[in-house]
Amino acid sequence: MAPGRKGRIIRRTIVIALVVAASLTMEITGFIATPEALRREVSWTTLHTIVPLVFAACAGVAWAIGPSRLPARLMVVFPLVWIPLSFLRVIEHVAWLWPFVYGVHLWWAVLTGILVLLYPRGRLIDGVDRWIAGIALVTSVGYLLGVLLLGQPSPAVCDCTANPYLVADAPGVFAVIDVGYRLIGVLLAIVIAVRLLVRWVRGSVPARTVAFLMPIALIAWVITLATQAAAYASGGADLVLDTVSLVAIASIPVSFVAGIAHARNMRARVADLMRITREGADRGLWAESLARTLRDASVRVYWWDEERARYADASGEPLDDDTPAARRGDHGLLPVSSPTGMPIAVIRHDRVLTDNMRLLDGVSSALRLSVDNGRLRSEIERTLEQVRQSRSRILEAGDEARRRIERDLHDGAQQHLVSLGMRLRLAANQARDRGVEPLGVELDGTIMMLNQALKELRELAHGIHPSLLSSGGLALAVPELAGRCPVPVEIDVQPEGRLPEVVESTAYFVVSEALANVAKHAQATRGWVRAALVDGELELVVRDNGVGGASAEGSGMLGIADRVDAVGGRFRLDSEHGAGTTITVHIPLAGFAH
Amino acid sequence: METPERPLRVAIADDALLLREGIAKVLADGGLEVVASVGTGAELLQVAARGGLDAAVLDIRMPPSYRDEGIVALEEMRAQGSTIGVLLLSMYATPEYALRVMGAGSGTGYLLKERVSEPQTLVRAVETVASGGSVVDPEVVEQLVQRTRADDPLSRLTERERSVLELMAQGYSNGGIAQTLFLGLKTVETHVRSILQKLDLEESPEHHRRVLAVLTLLGAR
């Protein structure tokens, strides 16, 4: 936990504790100071004491999760202005204080009203709300001034000493102020209640279900104010109504906190949906998350099936517009299409969710994003796979072409030249038999030239494709390669059997290129070639004890890397200066035909 | 080497008709009797199974797979107990194949195909393998000798000993080496002993094993 956060929590706890202590002090001292005959019932007093405690507790929660600090601050101030009238008896002889206390003893109602207006954003949303709050505050200050300047203690409340701030003895004017203030309070409360009810009715179903306390609390609160006003006018109080009003007031901060907690939860789940979207979840998981987000288990997502030109869910069940439920209109259908107008999916949801268009909008955006992501990803994957396959095919075709050329040379030109040599020999022999020695000598020379040509052709054919690789595999072809290298090379070729053709030709190419590098650049005195099968892969290591410093960007190394890459293998070059050069290649065997 | 009372009976296997006929003509001109001329190793095996053959001349690359059918046929014959001379012909001089051919047992040879333009070489090779001797193409030996190895044992040999060794590897007998290099038989025998000693090779009375040992040494350096 961060120290700042810890300090904040301690500060808030202390504030709440002080406020609670102050509130309890007022209640208890007031109860004790009231003569027994005038005391209210203990049960009522207890309930009256609990109300500020509930506010204080909710302040703690609101501080932690609230959209702003204002609601929490209002809740924490509430216990201080929740002043029982009985407390006046405690301070009845403190002349300078009691008018102030009396002047603010109804401010809790103003705080509560503003608190309700703050729901659920934590701030006043529009001008009407600000007007209501402004009027309430101005009249409250006015009432405080009225009490200070004109207030006379009522014997029913306390045996207060004379008001030291009194400027005029005008009980009639003060009574008008007193009643007027309460009337304005009731009117404002009714306006607030109506606004909130309208907002609640228009609100989203899930929010409504959790914050159901709010309208009840509001109604009870309005009744309370009306009752209080009536009780004040008539001078009596109804115990049942009073009790209901206390419960209603206590339930306001509770429903406030519960509502914002739920909204928070909801936002977190939409965020979840976005996260799942970003991670490219499969369709089943997506539909499941959607149902969780919307709190509607009946939500189904039907995806557009391009081939069959219809919507179907993840398990392949098509969208049926003709079910009894659909005919009854229990479900709403939300079509989602891509920015280019291509159909993506249809979300079938409970009709009541239609009210919550903002949520559905967010959901369909997430879905659009998800599908676009998925489409792009699969398109890239498909393209990449095509490129991979075509590269592999080109490679195999190239290998095959070289093999064919070598075979054509072997079966064609080479055989013909060999036959030709044979016939020339026969001709030479015949020439000698007939005593034409110079012709014989001439033909001998021709045969020698022919054999030289054959030797060159043999080298050429070998360069195009080593027949030894086709017939004997790496176990024969690698030693033969090593034998051609001017640097002595130690060989350890484990794969005795034959490997897939592409793997063999790639490995041969790698060893051939690597040994060419050893011969040309490494200045090595020894080389090593190792080939082994490790975990379904051919592992090739070509090492030398030369000067090192080979660059992976050199044409030879690039050629090796490209070739290995084309068969899905891995290439690694270690060539520090002075530490020799090691080329390590892994070629997977899977996926290639023998 | 026997002087045949009757001509040596030879079978030829090569999928190239032109060459097959040419080889048959060269061998016939050399005084051998060509009793069969076929296109695959399998067919040659059938001919050999009928008996009465002294030697066979096989192309290495033949149908069906054009890989090493000739050597496979040789190994098959040896596995069945046939001891007739077998001469393998190849378009390439491949030491690895030469070793495999020698490894199949005595009376085997490995020659480049272009040697058919040297009738004496071909005929003599057939006669050598028919009599249980060994023949290795000089180009193969040349390749093996040219191979470079660290702490090469060949560096211990003198120039003359190297020449002798190359002929030993080609399958020449001491007498043949003496004739080729214009040396006395005693001198050649001295060289051969010295070579075998320097290369840590055992003196083998059997001519073929000597060739195999030399080739193996050259290939394994």
Please indicate whether, in this complex, the C-beta atoms of A476 and B66 are within 8 angstroms of each other: no
Q: Assess whether A78 and A35 both reside in one domain.
A: yes
Q: Predicted confidence band at A1 (pLDDT cuts at 50, 70, 90)?
A: very low
Q: Predicted confidence band at A2 (pLDDT cuts at 50, 70, 90)?
A: low
Nearest to B26 among A422, A470, A472 (CB): A422
Among candidate residues B100, B119, B137, the one where a domain is terminated:
B137
Task: Give the structural domain span for B202.
Answer: 147-220
d(CA B14, CA B21): 9
Among candidate residues B84, B108, B137, the one where a domain is terminated:
B137
Structural domain includes residue B176: yes
Q: Assess whether A291 and A345 both reside in one domain.
A: yes
d(CA A188, CA A118): 15
At residue B90, the pLDDT reads: 93
Give the residue-averaged pLDDT of A491-499.
83
At residue A189, the pLDDT reads: 84
Task: Give the structural domain span for A539.
Answer: 472-588
Q: Assess whether A284 and A372 both reside in one domain.
A: yes
Give the residue-averaged pLDDT of A149-169.
80
d(CA A151, CA A173): 10
Q: Predicted confidence band at A293 (pLDDT cuts at 50, 70, 90)?
A: confident
Contacts of A526 in chain B (CB under 8 A): 150
Q: Assess whether A103 and A33 both reside in one domain.
A: yes
Q: Assess whether B181 and B200 both reside in one domain.
A: yes
d(CA B130, CA B106): 10
Query: Which tokens sit at A410?
Result: 């072997």
At residue A174, the pLDDT reads: 85
Structural domain includes residue A553: yes
Q: What is the bridge-based pairing of β-strands A343-350 and A489-493?
A: unpaired
Give the model confidence (pLDDT) of B58-97 as tens digits: 999 998 888 889 999 999 999 999 999 999 999 988 888 8
Check pLDDT > 90 for residue A274. no
d(CA B8, CA A524): 53
Please indicate whether, in this complex, the C-beta atoms of B96 and A415 are within 8 angstroms of each other: no
What is the percentage of chain B residues whose pLDDT exceeds 70?
95
Q: Assess whether B120 and B151 both reside in one domain.
A: no
Q: Predicted confidence band at A575 (pLDDT cuts at 50, 70, 90)?
A: very high
At residue B1, the pLDDT reads: 47
Among candidate residues A409, A438, A464, the one where a domain is terminated:
A464
At residue A467, the pLDDT reads: 87
DSSP secondary-structure letter at A330?
A: -
Q: Predicted confidence band at B32 (pLDDT cuts at 50, 70, 90)?
A: very high
Q: Assess whether A198 and A291 both reside in one domain.
A: no
Nearest to A129 by CA among A195, A49, A31, A68: A195
At residue A122, the pLDDT reads: 74
d(CA B32, CA A212): 115
A553, amino acid identity: E
Structural domain includes residue B15: yes
The secondary element (H helix, E strand) that includes residue A177 is: helix A171-202
Structural domain includes residue A593: no
A70, amino acid identity: L
CA nearest to A526 within chain B: B150
* Residue B155 Cα distances to A480, A483, B151, angstroms: 21, 17, 8
Q: Assess whether A245 and A283 both reside in one domain.
A: no
Structural domain includes residue B4: no
At residue A392, the pLDDT reads: 86
Give the residue-averaged pLDDT of A108-125.
81
Q: Is A424's Cβ below 8 Å from some Cβ in B?
A: yes
3-state secondary structure of A442: helix
B68 against A233, higher pLDDT: B68
Q: Assess whether A235 and A293 both reside in one domain.
A: no
Per the structure, how many domains does chain A have?
Answer: 4
Please indicate whether, in this complex, the C-beta atoms of B19 and A419 are within 8 angstroms of each other: yes
B5 against B186, higher pLDDT: B186
Q: Predicted confidence band at B105 (pLDDT cuts at 50, 70, 90)?
A: confident
Nearest to B95 among A418, A450, A483 (CB): A483
Q: Assess whether B31 and B13 both reside in one domain.
A: yes
- Calculate the CA A142 to chain-centre distance: 52
Q: Assess whether A364 and A435 both reside in one domain.
A: no
Q: Is B22's Cβ below 8 Å from some Cβ in A?
A: yes
Q: Assess whether B24 and B83 both reside in one domain.
A: yes
d(CA A561, CA A566): 9
Q: Assess whether B156 and B133 both reside in one domain.
A: no
Check pLDDT > 90 for residue A508. yes
Structural domain includes residue B2: no
| Cβ atoms of residues B74 and B86 within 8 Å | yes
A400 against A300, higher pLDDT: A400
- What is the DSSP code string of B26-65? HHHHTT-EEEEEESSHHHHHHHHHT---SEEEEESS-TTT
Nearest to A242 by CA among A36, A33, A28, A47: A47
* Residue A439 Cα distances to A42, A430, A432, A444, B26, angstroms: 145, 10, 8, 8, 20
Per the listing, tokens 């095996």 go with B45
Q: What SS3 string covers A465-530?
A: CCHHHHHHHHHHHHHHHHHHCCCCEEEEECCCCCCCHHHHHHHHHHHHHHHHHHHHHHCCCCEEEE
Contacts of A422 in chain B (CB under 8 A): 19, 22-23, 25-26, 116-117
Give residues with Cβ within 8 angstroms of A130, minimum separation 6: A124
CA nearest to A453 within chain B: B114
Q: Assess whether A271 and A143 both reside in one domain.
A: no
Q: Predicted confidence band at B31 (pLDDT cuts at 50, 70, 90)?
A: very high
d(CA A87, CA A28): 8
Bridge partners (DSSP) of residue A534 are: A537
Among candidate residues A266, A286, A301, the one where a domain is terminated:
A266
CA angle B125, B129, B135 (to 5 degrees): 55
CA nearest to A414 within chain B: B91
Rank A130-139, A315-324, A357-366 by mean pLDDT and report only the highest.
A130-139
Q: Assess whether B13 and B35 both reside in one domain.
A: yes
Output phi, psi for B151, to 5 deg: 30, 65
Give the model confidence (pLDDT) of A75-114 as tens digits: 999 999 898 888 888 888 888 888 888 888 888 888 888 8
Among candidate residues B81, B105, B137, the one where a domain is terminated:
B137
Q: Predicted confidence band at B153 (pLDDT cuts at 50, 70, 90)?
A: confident
d(CA B141, CA B95): 8
Among candidate residues A266, A282, A315, the one where a domain is terminated:
A266
Give the residue-averaged pLDDT of A555-575.
91
- What is the DSSP code string of A528-574? EEEEEEETTEEEEEEEE-S-----TTSHHHHHHHHHHHHTT-EEEEE
Please indicate whether, in this complex, the C-beta atoms of B117 and A421 are within 8 angstroms of each other: yes
Check pLDDT > 80 for residue B4. no
Q: Assess whether B89 and B177 both reside in one domain.
A: no
CATH of the domain at A493: 3.30.565.10
Q: In a 10 Å sphere around its CB, with 0-12 CB exposed, 13-18 middle and 19+ buried, how is residue A484 labelled? A: middle
At residue A228, the pLDDT reads: 67
At residue A372, the pLDDT reads: 76
Q: Assess whether A407 and A374 both reside in one domain.
A: no
The secondary element (H helix, E strand) that includes residue A367 is: helix A357-409
Q: Assess whether B13 and B65 both reside in one domain.
A: yes
CATH of the domain at A301: 3.30.450.40
CATH of the domain at B152: 1.10.10.10
Check pLDDT > 50 for residue A304. yes
Instruction: Please count the residues of chain B.
Output: 221
Nearest to B94 among A424, A425, A468 (CB): A468
| Cβ atoms of residues B169 and B215 within 8 Å | yes
Q: In a 10 Å sphere around its CB, with 0-12 CB exposed, 13-18 middle and 19+ buried, how is residue A557 labelled? A: buried
Give the residue-averaged pLDDT of A445-462.
93
Give the residue-averaged pLDDT of A532-539.
91
Structural domain includes residue A389: no
Q: Assess whether B70 and B89 both reside in one domain.
A: yes
A90, amino acid identity: V
Q: Mean pLDDT score of chain B, rounded to an integer?
A: 88
Among A127-131, A310-314, A383-387, where is mean pLDDT lowest? A310-314
The secondary element (H helix, E strand) that includes residue B108 is: strand B108-112
Check pLDDT > 50 for residue A258. yes
Check pLDDT > 60 for residue A205. no
Output phi, psi for A268, to 5 deg: -60, -40
At residue B73, the pLDDT reads: 95
Q: Is B4's Cβ below 8 Å from some Cβ in A?
A: no
What is the percentage of chain A residues whose pLDDT exceeds 90?
29
Question: Testing the interface with A: which of B117, B118, B137, B155 to mutate, by most A Cβ within 10 A?
Answer: B117
Asked if the bond preceding A479 is cis, omega within 30° of 0, the reply is no
At residue A380, the pLDDT reads: 92
Per the listing, tokens 């194949």 go with B97
CA nearest to B69 within chain A: A471
Q: Is A467's Cβ below 8 Å from some Cβ in B?
A: yes
d(CA B67, CA B59): 10
* Residue A338 Cα distances to A268, A311, A364, angstroms: 25, 15, 10
Per the listing, tokens 């390590």 go with A584
Q: Is B66's Cβ below 8 Å from some Cβ in A?
A: yes
Please indicate whether, in this complex, the C-beta atoms of B147 and A462 are within 8 angstroms of each other: no
Q: Assess whether B56 and B118 both reside in one domain.
A: yes
Q: From the CA of A487, how many Å to the nearest CA of chain B? A: 7
Indicate the Cα dihedral angle A212, A214, A216, A219, nearest 10°.
-150
Instruction: Please count the residues of chain A.
Output: 594
d(CA A163, CA A94): 10
Q: From the CA of B187, how many Å to the nearest CA of chain A? A: 32
Contacts of B114 in chain A (CB under 8 A): 417-418, 421, 451, 454
Check pLDDT > 50 for residue A74. yes
| Cβ atoms of residues A357 and A300 within 8 Å | no
CATH of the domain at B100: 3.40.50.2300
pTM: predicted TM-score of the whole model, two decimal places: 0.59
Q: Assess whether A91 and A206 both reside in one domain.
A: yes
Structural domain includes residue A513: yes
B4 against B77, higher pLDDT: B77
Q: From the CA of B48, how many Å to the nearest CA of chain A? A: 24
Give the residue-averaged pLDDT of A476-502.
87
Per the structure, how many domains does chain B have?
Answer: 2
Nearest to A264 by CA among A4, A66, A39, A485: A66
Q: Is B96's Cβ below 8 Å from some Cβ in A?
A: yes
Give the residue-averaged pLDDT of A516-534.
92
Please indicate whether, in this complex, the C-beta atoms of B61 and A488 are within 8 angstroms of each other: no
Q: Assess whether B83 and B182 both reside in one domain.
A: no
Per the listing, tokens 């705080």 go with A111
Q: Predicted confidence band at A213 (pLDDT cuts at 50, 70, 90)?
A: low
Q: Assess whether A376 and A446 both reside in one domain.
A: no
Q: Is B61's Cβ below 8 Å from some Cβ in A?
A: yes
Q: Assess whether B154 and B132 both reside in one domain.
A: no
d(CA A172, CA A170): 5
At residue A178, the pLDDT reads: 85
Check pLDDT > 90 for residue A587. yes
Structural domain includes residue B3: no
CA angle A266, A270, A275 (to 5 degrees): 140
At residue A409, the pLDDT reads: 92
Give the residue-averaged pLDDT of A258-287.
70
Q: From the CA of B192, how many Å to the nearest CA of chain A? A: 26
Please indicate whether, in this complex, the C-beta atoms of A407 and B96 are within 8 angstroms of each other: no
Please indicate whether, in this complex, the C-beta atoms of B16 and A421 are within 8 angstroms of each other: no
Among A159-173, A235-249, A403-417, A479-493, where is mean pLDDT lowest? A235-249
